[in-house]
Every structure is written in C-alpha cells, then in structure tokens.
C-alpha cells in the first residue's frame, strides 16, 4: 500500500519531465496562399528561408571556448555567493532552537528505550505500555511502521527532519542577491532530499526487514534492477515493458497525411456523422511526445475534441538525431508550425483554422502565427494556449538555471558557433532536470523502491510517457533559452526577427483561450496570465487546479478537481484571482463550449483522411513518435 501511495504521488508530480484591442473579425483578409511544397520534400530537408542578421544581443555574446564559458558561469555564481550573508541574530536564534529541539528528541528517545523500562522488556511491550506506537513522523518517506517501532530509526528520522528544517531555515534567512539566494535554497533542498536516511540501506529499517524476510532476495533483485537502469540510461519510474505506443497508449484512430524532416501530421478519424467545417490543429511541445494528449481513450484530449465534432490534426514531432543537430528556431517555425498550417489548409480548403498549443508548443504556435500575421495572413480563427509562456517574466524555479554565463556556456557547447559544431541537447538531460525539480517524488522514491527494497515499479501510462524522452537541436534550444528565458523578447513588438519578419504577437487578431494550472511549477500560472497583455484578440483566461500535466489532462468523467473563471481581464493575475468564480470538475466543457463558436457550420464528415495531394502515408500514431532518444 505504501508503494502504491508513493506511485500515486509520483504520478501527481510527473503530471509535473509560454495587447492591443481586438480587430473586427469581418475585416480579416487572408494573404495570397503560399505555393504548395511538393510532396518530395518529405524525405529531405526543405530549403531554408534566408536568415536575417543575428540579433545584436546574440552577436555580441563573447566568443569563447567551452572551458572559458564554463569558467565564466562558475565565476559568476561564486561572485553572487560572495554577497550573501546570514544575519547574526537569525543564526543565533536558529542555533538556540536547534539545540533545544535536539535535546528534547534525545530525552524522549531515551525514555522509551527498553534498557530504561526494564532489561527484559521488548520495545513493542514498552510502546504498548506507553499507549501504542509513537505518532506519525509526518513525512511519507517514514510512513512504514518499521520507522515507528525501531527506536534507533525513529530518532534518526526525527533528527534528519530537524536538520532539514534548520538548514532550510538558514537558507531562507540569507540576505543578498535574490537569484543567488534562490539558487542556494534550491541546492540546499537537493542536498537535504538526497541525505534522507530512507535513501540508504543501512539506515532504512523497512528495507532491512524486507532483506531479512526474503533471505537477501530483495537486495539481489534491487541490484538487478539497478544494472538494468544503468544499461537503459535512466531510472525506471514504471514498468515500461507493459506499454507500447499505438497498442495501449496513443490509440485514437487516424492516419499520417504529411511528413517532412521535422514532423508528421496526423489527421484523426471522425467520431461523428458531421464535423465543423473549420479544422483544428494541435501543436504539442517538441520536448515531449504528443501522446500525453492521447494516453487512453478515457483521458484523451484529442479524442474528446474529435468527439465534439471537430476535424482534428496533430503535429507529431520527429525525435531529432545527429542529422538535425544544426536546425534552428526559424527552421522549426517555417518548416514545422507554418508548414503544418499550410497543409491543413490544403487538405481542408479552409482559409482559417482553430489552433491549440501546449507548453512550448504554445510558444512555437504563437511565434508561427506572429510570422504569418507579419506577412498579412491571419491564419487562426482561434488560439488555445495550455500552460504556455509568451511573457517569461515569471518562470518560477526554472529561472534558477538561466543567466548570461550559463546561456553562453550552452551556446559554446551546443549552439551554431560551438567549436565542435552544433550538437543535440539529449532528451535524458532534460528529463533528469525536470525530475530533480521534484526529487522526492520522481527520483528518490524510485531509488528506495527499485533498488533498496527490490520492488518493481507499477505500470502507469503517464510515467511511461514521462520517461519517453526527446532530443532538441542545440541551435534551436540556445535561441529559445536566450531570447525567451534570458532576454524575454517575445513580448516586445519588433524585438525579434523570425523567418525574416519583425515579430509582433499583438498582431495576432484571433480570440484566445488561455489555460493555466494553479500548482504548475514549470509554467507558474501568474506568468501564464501575462500572455493576456500580449495577444491582440479577445481573450478568456481559465485557471485549473493541480499541476502542469494533471491540470490539463482532467476529463469530465473523472469529476475531479475544479477550475476558476473571470469574465473580466484585469491587469494583474492577483486582481483576476480576487474576482474569479470557482467551478467543480473539469475545464474541458468550458473550453468545448468556447471552441464550438469558432468551428463554423456542420458538414458531412470526410470519408477518408487527407486529400488527393496529401494521401495517407501510414496509420496513426506513425513512425516519428516511436523513435527513442
């Protein structure tokens, strides 16, 4: 039961691995269609557009080798640390309380030792005489009864928790540069979580008991699982052998109707006799596989949208290999986002389409629509952004990893001007980074269960998806890091040139539905709210409960959680929250009702996917989503 509870908490964590006045819709005019790209572009890279001059900020970055860039990064961090200090009175107070509490813990432990109560007494007898086991330690890492019935383990856990509280208190007491303080706090939290006695066999009474009861088999099994994880290159969070993409995850029926170097385009089979005339395009994050939106039929946002009578197309990103190591942000916008919009138009004959972007997919989608707007093409009838940043002012814990020196180091090791040439950012590195944002749930939980106790992690589709990592081309990643997280230039009209166009996201006239999750640690909801000040069309902002993934994947039938709405759009997130109304259950019906107003007339559903010029290539989910990092 403890293992199942921990697995559920890990699922919740993994569900944890970015204006102006609206224009009248009647005045929209579409620019002349861009020439169709021949089908022969699929196996080869499409010819890139002429690249604009580098932004001055990027061109001004010092040219250094990776060692110098690394040294600059470390030097910058050390310099920031040198300005931190703990006020003497705060240190003295922490010391006094630590001594008092540690003495109290020791005295309480000694009072319950069998040697004190009688040489013939057992600890269980002593506890029974004292009225039963001690109170819970208040931490699920120590929830097993072994931590309560073993006095040594009880004291070890209690002292660990006291040490942890004291260290975090000292970290919170630091005075100095805000980012340096936050980095120290993050580092201390990582160290504290790693030092838990539950993570070490010699200090974990539950793991020791299991080893004794199994005559050492649990340890042997743990070693076998450790070797297996070392060979596969990542920590097992679920039984990955249970799942197969296209067999029991990502099973909604459809077909691949287009592909090129960057993506495959899936058209899903209709589930209704009639569909809205205007098609729907999903742009999922390129740092994950798209099927988080199609895990199982009962929690599939894709299937839900199809069932609402929409003709749905989804971008399934290619998992980049070394042949794509030099691809840029402009490449992804021109040859993926904009190309997908063009193909959907070509297949359906629609001038405009409804669009949805999730996480970085929302940032990519908005950039693509901004480029088209600069070309005089208002391609979107509506825009839905799910937990996405357009304004990177408040990026939460991820801001700790970004400064000028760290970005330069990435540019010198992965970017276009790296001495050894551009390289891939490996998916495993991204996955590890996101896991260590919630280390107790997504790392140490599995170290203890898999290796110390020899338990096999239970099968969970979401954790299978979470471990299915994807790579990113270095130049594309470095551009994203510098111009969004570091310099926050997407929000400033004309600050960036993308695909040869001066980018102004306020030129996107389409109405927008902006969703954020209240406990999201990757895209904090107040940061997501800032997008309401950037896009040019009429906006609706909805706040859901839970985290980055669980808040989004919340089907109505589950009847879980709640969401908040506010018909007004005040200037700050706090003002919006103060006037918001709470609603029980899923936000999906609210979105479906909003989206239906932009779907157009109902027409007979297509009998076959694609068109004469874009014939089906293979069944969904296709090949690209099955490529491993």
Q: pLDDT at residue 530 above 60?
A: yes
β-pairing verdict for 280-283 and 353-358: parallel
CB 332 within 8 A of CB 263: no
Q: pLDDT at residue 30 above 50?
A: no
603 vs 115, more confident: 603
Burial of 146 (0-12, 13-18, 19+ CB in 10 A): middle
Q: Is 215 left (phi over 0), alpha (psi -120 to 50) or beta?
A: left
Cα–Cα dist 130/103, whole Å: 21
Cα–Cα dist 503/476, whole Å: 17
**Banded pLDDT at 62 (limits 50, 70, 90):** very low
| Mean pLDDT, rounded, for 15-44 | 39
| Mean pLDDT, rounded, for 171-181 | 90
Q: Is the dihedral of CA 102, 108, 111, 115 positive or negative?
A: negative
pLDDT tens-digit profile of 354-381?
Answer: 999 999 999 999 999 999 999 999 999 9
What is the rounded average pLDDT for all residues in the chain?
Answer: 87
CB 379 within 8 A of CB 353: yes
**Banded pLDDT at 84 (limits 50, 70, 90):** confident
Q: What share of the chain is helix, strand, coil (3-state, %, to 5)?
A: 50, 10, 40
For 432, the token pair is 């590890």
- What are the helix (H) ranges across 425-509? 427-435, 439, 445-446, 461-467, 474-480
Cα–Cα dist 371/374, whole Å: 5
Residues in a beta bridge with 498:
501
Closest CA to 526 of 534, 536, 516: 516
CB 305 within 8 A of CB 280: yes
> What domains can you pick out in the chain, each with its CATH number?
2-34+42-70+250-438+460-552+601-626 (3.40.50.1820), 88-232 (no CATH)
Q: What is the pTM of this model?
A: 0.84
Lowest average pLDDT, out of 34-48, 126-140, 205-219, 604-618, goes to 34-48
| Rounded (10°) angle between helices 178-194 and 151-173 | 170
Say how many C-beta atoms besides its own lie within 10 A of residue 137's C-beta: 17
Closest CA to 301 of 319, 279, 277, 284: 284
Cα–Cα dist 37/262, whole Å: 14
Q: pLDDT at residue 53 above 50?
A: no
Cα–Cα dist 249/300, whole Å: 10
Cα–Cα dist 179/182, whole Å: 5
Task: List, in order, residues 6 or more apart from 109 with CB less than 8 Å away.
Answer: 151, 154, 155, 158
Q: pLDDT at residue 118 above 80?
A: no
- The catalytic residue positions are 359
Residue 271, pLDDT score: 98
């Amino acid at each position: 039961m403890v293992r199942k509870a921990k697995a559920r908490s890990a699922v919740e964590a993994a569900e944890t691995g970015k204006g102006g006045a609206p224009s009248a819709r009647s005045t929209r005019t579409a620019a002349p269609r861009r020439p169709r790209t021949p089908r022969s572009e699929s196996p080869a890279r499409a010819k890139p557009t002429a690249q604009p001059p580098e932004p001055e900020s990027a061109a001004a970055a010092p040219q250094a080798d990776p060692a110098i860039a690394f040294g600059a990064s470390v030097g910058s961090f050390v310099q920031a640390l040198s300005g931190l200090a703990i006020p003497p009175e705060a240190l003295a107070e922490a010391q006094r309380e630590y001594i008092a509490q540690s003495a109290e813990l020791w005295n309480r432990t000694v009072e319950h030792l069998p040697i004190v109560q009688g040489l013939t007494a057992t600890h269980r007898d002593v506890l029974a005489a004292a009225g039963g086991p001690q109170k819970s330690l208040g931490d699920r890492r120590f929830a097993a009864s072994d931590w309560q019935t073993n006095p040594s383990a009880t004291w070890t856990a209690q002292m660990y928790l006291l040490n942890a509280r004291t260290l975090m208190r000292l970290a919170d007491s630091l005075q100095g540069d805000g980012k340096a303080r936050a980095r120290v706090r993050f580092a201390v939290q990582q160290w504290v979580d790693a030092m838990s006695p539950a993570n070490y066999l010699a200090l974990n009474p539950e793991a020791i008991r299991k080893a004794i009861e199994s005559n050492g088999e649990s340890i042997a099994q743990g070693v076998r699982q450790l070797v297996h994880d070392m060979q596969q290159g990542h920590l097992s969070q679920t039984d990955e052998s249970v799942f197969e993409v296209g067999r029991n995850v990502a099973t909604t029926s459809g077909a691949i109707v287009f592909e090129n170097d960057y993506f495959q385009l899936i058209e899903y089979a209709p589930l209704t006799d009639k569909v809205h005339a205007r098609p729907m395009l999903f742009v999922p994050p390129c740092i994950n596989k798209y099927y988080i939106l199609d895990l199982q039929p009962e929690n599939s946002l894709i299937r839900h949208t199809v069932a609402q009578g929409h003709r749905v197309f989804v971008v399934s990103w290619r998992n980049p290999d070394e042949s794509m190591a030099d691809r840029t942000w402009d490449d992804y916008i021109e040859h993926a986002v904009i190309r997908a919009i063009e193909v959907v138009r070509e297949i359906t004959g629609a001038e405009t389409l409804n669009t949805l972007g999730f996480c970085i997919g929302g940032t990519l989608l908005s950039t693509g629509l901004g480029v088209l707007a600069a070309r005089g093409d208002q391609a979107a009838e509506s825009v839905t952004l799910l937990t996405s940043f357009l304004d990177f002012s408040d990026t939460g814990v991820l801001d700790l990893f970004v400064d000028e020196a760290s970005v330069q180091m990435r540019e010198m090791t992965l970017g276009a001007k790296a001495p050894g040439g551009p390289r891939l950012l490996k998916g495993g590195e991204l996955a590890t980074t996101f896991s260590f944002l919630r280390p107790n749930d997504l790392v140490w939980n599995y170290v203890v269960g898999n290796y110390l106790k020899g338990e096999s992690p239970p099968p969970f589709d979401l954790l299978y998806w979470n471990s299915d990592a994807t790579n990113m081309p270095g130049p594309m990643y470095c551009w994203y890091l510098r111009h969004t997280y570091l310099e926050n230039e997407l929000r400033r009209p004309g600050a960036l040139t993308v695909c040869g166009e001066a980018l102004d996201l306020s030129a996107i006239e389409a109405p927008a539905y902006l969703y954020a999750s209240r406990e999201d640690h990757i895209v904090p909801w107040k940061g997501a709210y800032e997008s309401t000040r950037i896009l040019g069309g009429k906006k609706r902002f909805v706040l859901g409960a839970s985290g980055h993934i669980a808040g989004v994947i919340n089907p109505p039938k589950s009847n879980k959680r709640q969401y908040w709405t506010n018909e007004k759009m005040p200037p700050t997130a706090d003002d919006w929250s103060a006037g918001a109304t709470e609603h029980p259950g899923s936000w999906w019906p609210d979105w479906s009702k909003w989206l239906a107003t932009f779907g157009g007339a109902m027409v007979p559903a297509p009998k076959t996917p694609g068109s004469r010029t874009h014939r089906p290539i293979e069944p969904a989910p296709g090949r690209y989503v099955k490529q491993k990092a």
